[in-house]
Amino acid sequence: MTFWAYLLRCSDGSYYAGHTDNLEHRIGHHQNGLIAGYTQKRRPVTLVWSQDFPSRIEALEAERRIKGWTRAKKEALIAGDWGRLSILARNHQDERSPSTGSGRTGFGTGVASSIRPEPVEGHVRHSPRQND
């Protein structure tokens, strides 16, 4: 089974990170306001990045890591700018406090180092690992 971490751009320009085992279904629920919470009042939403993972825990860890990222790092990921993402990650390593209340910061260690910048332009972008 494939699991996904994803980023949505909300109508107010903010970003929402999540994970799921059915990407199209989950995005539909966000789009239709069926998921209470952050995206419900910020519709419409646009899928701007997604990546598949072999296990739910890896997708969840990627989601949590991305939620702790700065806006600039999220935008570098969306743009597929690996060089900028790496620079921003190095600059962020010296900070000891998280950018959100989640306690998740940093980049380059553990499963999140497998995050690949893959922009999505109006459709779901499947990563090279997925078997079609």
CATH of the domain at 48: 3.40.1440
Residue 120 lies in a domain: no
Task: Answer yes or no: is 47 within a domain.
Answer: yes
pLDDT at 116: 73
Residue-level pLDDT, tens digit, the chain, 132 residues:
999 999 999 999 999 999 999 999 999 999 999 999 999 999 999 999 999 999 999 999 999 999 999 999 999 999 999 999 999 988 876 554 444 444 443 434 344 456 876 555 444 444 433 333
* Host domain of residue 19: 3-114
Per-residue model confidence (pLDDT) at position 113: 56
Residue 121: inside a domain: no
Q: Which two tokens stand for residue 23?
A: 């990407």
Residue found under tokens 């995206």: 39
- Report d(CA 46, CA 129) in Å as an integer: 23
Amino acid 91: pLDDT: 84
The helix/strand/coil state of 27 is: helix
- The pLDDT value recorded for residue 118 is 59
Domain count, the chain: 1
pTM: 0.74
- Compute the distance between CA of residue 88 and CA of residue 38 in angstroms, rounded to an integer: 26
